[in-house]
Amino acid sequence: MTAKSRSNKVAPKILVADDDPCVLRAIADRCARMGFDVETASNGLQALIKAGQHRPDILVIDVHMPEVDGISVLAYLPDTAKKSLRVIVVTGHPGQEIVEKCKGLDASCIGKGHNFWNELEASLTRMYPDMSAAIKQSGARSANIEVRKRPRVLLVDDDIGVKKFFFRRFEKLGAELLYAADGMRGFWMARREEPTAIVSDYCMPNGNAEYLLTRLRSTPETRGIPVIIQSGRRLNEAIKQRLREQICGQPGATRILQKSRDTGELFDALQRLCGFASDLDGELLHR
């Protein structure tokens, strides 16, 4: 192949789908440096739509995602989209059932964790051996970027009782919980840790929920993180409207909830946003 023909060669298209913004960006950036034409999706429904629109050559997709889980995305794809599609499934919980399910769908399976980058590099090299040099060279900047196994939720609330309750519940869900006692510290923690979602009290010292939303939406690293607002007192419609309004072109609060002993509605919303693994495995594997 001549130098001119190599330069005119069309880059393979890759669609990366993951609801964790930190992981999504890390994989997308790494694949772009490898020489792939990269498109991203932040949930399963978006992955389905973009797979039909962009017709990728490779799909790198997380299993546990809101809206539609990764395994179901593969099942729902039309045959025309599946025809030449190569699939890499990534998961923080690579149990035997998921591995077998991937085999049945002719998909590779990679566990999130310390060996993730090596396994991704090996899988892509097998698919595109002519890109092996670029794939290998791309790793210098990504080797130390964490590909975390569990969704990460930030709780912003000055009530210690709420903090204790959430930590107990999140241990059972297999998710990671971060905590900040006010809006100002919540913003800086969100910027540093890039959580999958944020649950914030409305009324707090050093920055209430409106302050937090404004800071989050005006900062590139945090502008897309979904935020659920909960309050111990009833908020009037004017306040709710302000919380829902767009800021810097980004949506306001995802949900506004009344604090209650019955947290079913809150955790249902978090399940949709974060795709917790604990209650999802049996459902997605036995359809």
d(CA 38, CA 35): 9
* Nearby residues of 140 by Cβ (< 8 Å), 6 or more positions away: none
Q: Which amino acid would we find at residue 143? A: A
Residue 262 pLDDT: 66
- Which CATH code for domain 152-274? 3.40.50.2300
Where do the H-state alpha helices sit in 55-179?
A: 70-76, 79-82, 96-104, 116-127, 132-137, 160-173
pLDDT in tens, 179-201: 999 999 999 999 988 888 899 99
Residue 269 pLDDT: 82
pLDDT at 50 over 60: yes
| Higher-confidence position of 98 and 283 | 98
pLDDT at 144 over 60: no
Q: Are 58 and 35 in contact (CB under 8 A)?
A: no
- Which CATH code for domain 3-140? 3.40.50.2300
Q: At what angle do helices 209-217 and 237-244 cross, to 10 degrees?
A: 20
Domain boundaries of the chain, sorted by first residue: 3-140, 152-274
Q: For the beta carbon of residue 218, count every other beta carbon within 10 angstroms.
A: 12
- 3-140 against 152-274: fold identical: yes
User: Quick one: which of 219, 221, 230 has its CA closest to 253?
Assistant: 230
d(CA 136, CA 134): 5
Band (pLDDT 50/70/90 cuts) for residue 155 is very high
pLDDT in tens, 219-278: 988 888 889 999 888 888 999 999 988 888 888 898 999 887 667 888 888 877 776 654
Q: What is the mean pLDDT of residues 15-33?
A: 87
Residue 162 pLDDT: 87
d(CA 166, CA 154): 10
Q: Are 256 and 226 in contact (CB under 8 A)?
A: no
Residue 1 pLDDT: 45
For 56, list phi and psi in degrees, rounded to 5: -70, 155
pLDDT in tens, 84-119: 899 999 987 767 788 888 888 888 898 887 788 889
Q: What is the mean pLDDT of residues 30-55?
A: 90
Residue 103, classified by CB atoms within 10 Å of its CB into exposed (0-12), middle (13-18) or buried (19+), is exposed
Q: What is the mean pLDDT of residues 123-142?
A: 83
